Amino acid sequence: MRIVVTRNVPEAAVELLRGAGQVHVCERDQALDPAELREVVAGADGLVTMLGDQVDGAVADAAGSQLKVVANVAVGYDNLDVPALAARGVTVTNTPGVLTDATADLAFALLLMATRRLGEAERLIRSGEPWFFHLGFMLGTGLQGKTLGIIGLGEIGQAVARRARAFGMRIAYSGRRRVAADVESELDARYLTRDELLREADVLSLHCPLTEQTRHLIDAAALATMKPSAVLVNTSRGPVVDEAALAEALRAGRIAAAGLDVFEQEPAVHPGLLELENAVLIPHLGSATVETRTAMAELAARNVVGVLTGNGPVTPVEA
């Protein structure tokens, strides 16, 4: 069996993969372009991919008819053409669960940075400009009694809600369907329509997958519906937010601040956002802990080994 890993991964994951075949790791940290990807996958029985790898039918055909599994090192899999892969008999897997807490921690860090102006404050210190304490100096907003609105109350959204409850926030959410009654009860969470949530949320945190329905879910109209004092946090996928519309809304004061971990055209960021003090911008660090990234790679490896040895995937994606 030939197993191709499109970028560097922790050695523990490579060792797992060696239990199923010969492993070729593309020892680089940047995504392969489409032509490079098609070249490197030739003859692969298994493929371990990252978010930046666009894997469609053409890539599967370049690998050959023996390709059995594509294991994405991520929860989301919008970079994979799942129907095209399934049509070719290829199993697709992802890595849910293992990054829940790390991503929730990061989302809440962005929430705190945006509401308390921490990025702006650190830049002030580093600039060397003089400053002095007074009662009106760099005022942010508190969280106690405020409403955290969550779009997508899945595992990560629930983990963020638990953190928010510890800070005295109220929880409201929207999504394709209501969550189980016991989850609503635990979080004391209210289910609202999307427009109701936009109007009510003091902080809006996005935890939905990227689909055709959620692309630019937060657009100019949605931003205009939000409170002028509201804060937007996005740790889901960049294209869920219309960055140009967000930059304009932040510049014009139509919302107060935003904290973004993901961007529409990563690694590029809309230049309008880069100019704004009320935009907290970090480079896709949601799962960036040693423990979490290792667990993600190991889970992807177990998926590949499971399929190639006939034991089946651990966390398959439904076609």
pLDDT at 28: 84
Per the annotation, the verdict on 237 as an active-site residue is: yes
Of the residues 2, 117, 237, 270, which is catalytic?
237
C-alpha to C-alpha distance for 227 and 114, rounded to whole angstroms: 15
Sequence-distant contacts of 257-260: CB under 8 A, at least 24 apart:
257/114, 257/115, 257/117, 257/231, 257/232, 258/114, 258/231, 258/232, 258/233, 258/234, 259/110, 259/111, 259/113, 259/114, 259/231, 259/232, 259/233, 259/234, 260/110, 260/233, 260/234
pLDDT of residue 29: 87
Per-residue pLDDT at 293? 98
Residue 216 designated active-site = no
Structural domains in the chain plus CATH codes: 2-96+290-308 (3.40.50.720), 100-281 (3.40.50.720)
User: Which amino acid, one-letter code, is at 314?
Assistant: V
Question: According to the model, what pLDDT value does residue 255 have?
Answer: 98
Predicted confidence at residue 260, as pLDDT, reads 98
Helix, strand, coil percentages for the chain (3-state, nearest 5):
40, 15, 45
Active site residue 123: no
Low-confidence residues of the chain: pLDDT under 70:
none
- Whole-number pLDDT of residue 319: 81
pLDDT at site 30 = 87
